[in-house]
Chain A
Amino acid sequence: MSDLRDLYQQVILDHYRAPRNFGALEPVSACAEGYNPLCGDQVKVYLRMDGDRVEGLTFEGVGCAISTASASLMTEAVRGLERPQAEALIASFLALMTGDGNGAAGADLGKLEVLSGVKDYPVRIKCATLAWHALRAALEGGDSEAVTTE
């Protein structure tokens, strides 16, 4: 049995209770929404680019501890990155969640490693990846349709 305290680490609970970079961003280069129809979790990601650099990144929405903390940690980790680095970090994070070692080559996950406990709870992986899928859609220019986890 996995230890729940590996899943709900203090950093995750902290980001759940006090999410960073929470709220709308103005002006904005692109937005994208993520929606998990299974549980109703919704996240909207606001992205502002300065050339090829992620200058601003915020999110808002309602979700569980895992999805909220993952979105919050994501905004901290991705802000300031160049587009290729940001894309590599997304790929690495999604690889960490799916346990796909091949995709992990590249970006150092750093603080995001606190979410690695999620991969032992397969039904919760979609919670952790929701904001990341939305960010990927925003980087691709935004999307009028919400990305879903299904």
Chain B
Amino acid sequence: MTAPARVAENERPAAAEALDVERLRASFPILDQEVHGHPLVYLDNAASSQRPEAVIEAVSDCYRTYYSNAHRGVHALSERSTDEYEAARGKVARFVGAARSSELVFTRGTTESLNLVAQSYARPRLRPGDEVLLTEMEHHSNIVPWQLVCEQTGARVRAAPITDDGDLDLAAMAGLVGERTRVVALAHVSNALGTVNDVAAIARLVRDRSEAAVVVDGAQAVPHMKVDVSALGCDFYAFSGHKMYGPGGVGALWGRGALLAAMPPYHGGGAMITRVTFERSEYTVPPHRFEAGTPSIAPAIGLGVAVEFLESIGLERIERHEQALLSHSLEQLNDLPWVQVLGQPRDGGSPRAAVVSLVIDGAHPHDVATILDEQGIAIRAGHHCAQPLMERLGVPATVRASFGMYNTHEEVDRLVSGLHEVRRIFG
């Protein structure tokens, strides 16, 4: 039994080593600065992460040396841009475990990916009385597109409940999946609580009870854990470049090839057709059918470099490091009687990704954010675009610290001492 394990370790020696965070931080130029006279502590990664030099350089290199429109020209620059753009698609597709790169559509981000599924997959299928099942922990971007398509079709949105601990209530969810359920859309990881939903188990649960498609908002999962869409058993998986150390303005939708092939276009325009007359147009095959107009070429190429960067470090190592940060922060925060961490992990419950959401007795999250900012600590205060979740938790807003691979234990300590300063002022 020990021999195979040793072989596996030898194959990936890097995975066993701890993350060299100081070396990693040197790859992120933005981290080396002071804010209000203090070294920056960036704990707003769930809103948007920072980019390593390699990604910045790749985007810059594209614009400096070979940028042109892709899929258009026969000239040398266009050919190079097309090659790099399609190579990036292949890298991102492999990164999430897609069987074919044609199943990977570049979009502007998770929001556009989810709107695409709502309009091109769901809209033609939904009938009055049909149901789209969401969960109480969804981000607005996985609620509003479904409300729009339900208004258009007469279908209705339902929401699976969460427990008081912030886990999805799977038994209750199972009871809500039935023959009218056409779509089940859920976050892989909650942006507000960090709850990691067991997508594979939920996909099985859905398949046992319905024909519904399983649509996953993976924006908060992809930068923090190894994602393999074929193992998850879902039908669509959406994510954003800017949360995974890549450029803004680009994201992706993975969809099962057979489903994508049967879907009408989302936007009409150039590059998504084979033939256009004023009477009718014929649409090209996926993924280009869903990429009308000139895409975000340089950002997509940058995203390809971002996934190479993540792979070079290793998602397992990143996850281990971030879990250590999470434990370190929970140990300290749970010792403070005036801090309440919302939806923190329980034994036997769902795991959490690198997010801590908290409230402080007698101090509104917005005031906490200002006081932390004065100490150079960037966190998010507010409803985190998850107002139904805030209502469920009975709070108007929370303070959210979200970790990335470059955060340190010392930064967690800075956060905790920053909260003590809040306590001193608001006492």
Interface residues in chain A, defined as those with a beta carbon under 8 Å from any beta carbon in chain B: 1-2, 4-5, 7-8, 13, 17, 38-41, 62-66, 68, 121, 123-124, 127
- Point out the residues of chain A lying under 8 angstroms from B396, CB to CB: 40-41, 62
Number of A-B residue pairs having CB atoms within 8 Å of each other in the complex: 50
> A39-B381, A39-B382, A40-B387 are contacts. A64–B36 as well, Cβ < 8 Å?
no
Closest A residue to B425 by CB, please name it. A8
CB of B36 within 8 A of CB of A8, answer no
B377 to chain A, nearest CB (A): 13
A70 to chain B, nearest CB (A): 13
Interface residues in chain B, defined as those with a beta carbon under 8 Å from any beta carbon in chain A: 36-37, 362-367, 370-371, 374, 381-383, 387, 390, 396-397, 425-426
A44 to chain B, nearest CB (A): 14
Bound Cα distance from A127 to B374, whole angstroms: 18
CB of A65 within 8 A of CB of B367, answer yes
CB of B370 within 8 A of CB of A7, answer yes
CB of A39 within 8 A of CB of B374, answer no
CB of B370 within 8 A of CB of A40, answer no
> In the complex, which of the residues A1, A13, A17, A64 contacts B366, with contact meaning CB atoms closer than 8 Å?
A64
- Point out the residues of chain B lying under 8 angstroms from A1, CB to CB: 36-37, 374
> A4-B371, A4-B374, A40-B396 are contacts. A64–B364 as well, Cβ < 8 Å?
yes
CB of B367 within 8 A of CB of A17, answer no
CB of B383 within 8 A of CB of A66, answer no
> In the complex, which of the residues A38, A40, A41, A65 contacts B390, with contact meaning CB atoms closer than 8 Å?
A40
Bound Cα distance from A39 to B395, whole angstroms: 12
CB of B366 within 8 A of CB of A124, answer yes
Closest A residue to B366 by CB, please name it. A64
Bound Cα distance from A135 to B110, whole angstroms: 39
New A-B contacts (14) at CB < 8 Å, excluding given A1-B37, A2-B374, A68-B364: A4-B374, A5-B425, A8-B367, A13-B426, A38-B382, A39-B382, A40-B387, A41-B396, A62-B396, A63-B364, A64-B367, A65-B363, A65-B426, A66-B367
> A4-B374, A8-B425 are contacts. A40–B367 as well, Cβ < 8 Å?
no
A86 to chain B, nearest CB (A): 27
> In the complex, which of the residues A13, A63, A68, A121 contacts B370, with contact meaning CB atoms closer than 8 Å?
A121
- Point out the residues of chain A lying under 8 angstroms from B383, CB to CB: 39-40
Query: What are some 27 contacts across the A-B interface (CB < 8 A)?
Result: A1-B36, A1-B374, A2-B374, A4-B370, A5-B425, A8-B371, A8-B425, A13-B425, A13-B426, A39-B365, A39-B366, A39-B397, A40-B387, A40-B390, A40-B396, A41-B366, A63-B364, A64-B366, A65-B363, A65-B364, A65-B426, A66-B366, A66-B367, A68-B364, A123-B370, A124-B370, A127-B366
CB of A17 within 8 A of CB of B362, answer yes
CB of B425 within 8 A of CB of A4, answer yes
- Point out the residues of chain B lying under 8 angstroms from A127, CB to CB: 366
- Point out the residues of chain A lying under 8 angstroms from B425, CB to CB: 4-5, 8, 13
- Point out the residues of chain A lying under 8 angstroms from B365, CB to CB: 39, 64
Bound Cα distance from A40 to B382, whole angstroms: 7
B368 to chain A, nearest CB (A): 9
B421 to chain A, nearest CB (A): 8
Closest A residue to B374 by CB, please name it. A4
B364 to chain A, nearest CB (A): 4
- Point out the residues of chain B lying under 8 angstroms from A4, CB to CB: 370-371, 374, 425
B191 to chain A, nearest CB (A): 16
By Cβ-Cβ distance, the 7 closest A-B pairs, closest first, are A64-B364, A64-B366, A40-B383, A65-B367, A1-B36, A62-B396, A64-B367
- Point out the residues of chain B lying under 8 angstroms from A124, CB to CB: 366, 370
Closest B residue to A4 by CB, please name it. B374
Bound Cα distance from A13 to B36, whole angstroms: 23
B391 to chain A, nearest CB (A): 10
- Point out the residues of chain A lying under 8 angstroms from B426, CB to CB: 8, 13, 65
Closest A residue to B362 by CB, please name it. A17
Bound Cα distance from A1 to B383, whole angstroms: 28
- Point out the residues of chain A lying under 8 angstroms from B362, CB to CB: 17
